[in-house]
């Protein structure tokens, strides 16, 4: 037996780690793990005359195939995909561009710009929805007068009141509010790039664009990957903005309905729709599975390619 083995045998068990980790683990299990397991369990039952009956996967089959449920489900899922794609194609590239600009040491007042861009992120989604609803109102909003003042008045329309533009408008409002998050994450990653690497690129004759494409971008790809995952998870959990602006019915004609608002109506009921705990749990379970499968596929295909690219 060598000295290392003897030292390991004499080393006491780190009970202090359990003492410090137990409160956090307990809180996590009570408020995250237990509700998740209970939701999965509840989705397998159906309540009839006040009694729960085990129905297996019937709730999921009904949700996906029954004509009374399937149209609303697929509509909400389709809108959620559009909501996510808009954020990926608009929010994250803008966040990347802003991070690159603000990381330039020659830019004056960069800290002020960062604060102003990130400030909407700290505001309540309810406040943001209410304010933008006032701004875009055709009756008392200022958007119409503003567009006319710059010669673009003929483009103004009741964007929140039309099925063709309501979801896009709400998506862009969400982009405006949360673009500060990818900006700050990518900005922090850019600041962590060693100056020696950048200086070596300048010595080799690389211009700013080449420096970004061939040096900075490969080094911040893991951060961009993490931002994409956070965007996917956040968008498929979105609820507050749609509910604050368009209510639980997600009008007009459910054109802004997302999985979050669909779950709210299904579980709690709304107006003439009666709530169902089992069907609501089935919707929540499908939301969880969609997020889980999406993150796993992203990590398996995209993350592996990023690691190969870096190597």
**Would you state the pLDDT for residue 311?**
54
Q: Please count the other Cβ atoms lying within 10 Å of the Cβ belonging to residue 207.
A: 10
Closest Cα partner for 266 from 125, 78, 60?
Answer: 60
**Tokens at residue 187, please?**
């900005």
Q: Is the pLDDT of residue 9 over 70?
A: no
Q: What is the pLDDT of residues 121-134, one digit of tens each?
A: 999 988 999 999 99
* Mean pLDDT value across the chain: 88
pLDDT tens for each residue of 135-164: 998 888 888 888 888 888 888 888 999 999
The predicted pLDDT at position 303 comes to 66
C-alpha–C-alpha distance, residues 284 and 67, integer Å: 20
Q: Any idea where the domains of the chain sit in the sequence?
A: 17-54, 73-310
Q: How confident is the model at residue 206 (pLDDT cuts 50, 70, 90)?
A: confident
Tens-digit pLDDT profile for residues 39-56: 999 999 887 766 778 888
The secondary structure of 212-237 as a DSSP string is IIIIIHHHHHHHHHHHHHHHHHHHTT
Q: Is residue 59 a contact partner of residue 73, using CB atoms and an 8 Å limit?
A: no
Find the range with the poorest average confidence among 119-128, 198-207, 289-298.
198-207
pLDDT of residue 116: 94
Residue 281 CA to residue 60 CA, distance in Å, equals 10
Q: Is the pLDDT of residue 305 over 70?
A: no
Decide which of 96 and 14 is more confident: 96
- Give the span between the Cα atoms of 238 and 177, in whole angstroms: 13
Q: Is 310's pLDDT higher than 60?
A: no
The pLDDT, as a whole number, for residue 204 is 83
- Which of 40, 55, 92 lies closest to 220 in space, CA to CA? 92
**Which of helix, strand or coil describes residue 122?**
helix
pLDDT at 5: 55
Provide the token pair at 191.
């600041």
Interval 236-288: pLDDT, tens: 999 999 999 998 889 899 999 999 999 999 999 887 678 888 999 999 999 99
Residue 160 is predicted with a pLDDT of 92
- Residue 60's pLDDT band (boundaries 50, 70, 90)? very high
Q: What's the pLDDT tens digit per position in 80-93?
A: 999 999 999 999 99
106/300 Cα distance (integer angstroms): 39
In the structure, what pLDDT confidence band is assigned to residue 3 with cuts at 50, 70 and 90? Answer: low
CATH classification of 73-310, choosing from 1.50.10.10, 1.10.3720.10, 3.40.50.300, 2.60.40.10? 1.10.3720.10
């Amino acid at each position: 037996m060598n000295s290392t083995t003897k030292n390991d045998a004499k080393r006491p068990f780190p009970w202090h780690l359990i003492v410090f980790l137990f409160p956090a683990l307990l809180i996590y299990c009570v408020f995250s793990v237990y509700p998740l397991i209970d939701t999965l369990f509840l989705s397998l039952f159906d309540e009839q005359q006040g009694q729960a009956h085990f129905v297996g996967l019937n709730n999921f089959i009904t949700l996906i195939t029954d004509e009374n449920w399937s149209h609303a489900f697929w509509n909400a899922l389709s809108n959620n995909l559009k909501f996510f794609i808009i954020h990926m194609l608009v929010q994250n590239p803008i966040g990347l561009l802003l991070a690159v600009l603000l990381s330039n040491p020659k830019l004056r007042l960069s800290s002020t710009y960062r604060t102003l861009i990130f400030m909407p992120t700290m505001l309540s989604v309810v406040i943001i929805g209410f304010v933008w609803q006032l701004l875009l109102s055709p009756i008392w909003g200022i958007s119409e007068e503003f567009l006319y003042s710059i010669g673009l008045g003929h483009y103004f329309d009741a964007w929140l009141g039309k099925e063709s533009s309501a979801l896009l408008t709400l998506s862009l409002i969400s982009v405006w509010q949360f673009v500060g998050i990818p900006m700050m994450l990518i900005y922090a990653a850019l600041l962590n790039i060693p100056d020696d690497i950048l200086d070596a690129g300048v010595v080799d004759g690389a211009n700013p664009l080449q420096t970004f494409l061939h040096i900075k971008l490969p080094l911040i790809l893991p951060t961009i990957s993490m931002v994409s995952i956070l965007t996917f998870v956040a968008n498929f959990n979105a609820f507050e903005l749609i509910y604050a602006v368009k209510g639980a019915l997600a009008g007009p004609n459910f054109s802004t309905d997302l999985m979050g608002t669909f779950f709210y109506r299904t579980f709690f009921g709304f107006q003439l729709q009666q709530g169902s705990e089992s069907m609501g749990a089935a919707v929540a379970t499908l939301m969880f599975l969609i997020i889980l499968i999406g993150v796993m596929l992203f990590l398996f295909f995209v993350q592996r390619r990023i690691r190969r690219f870096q190597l």
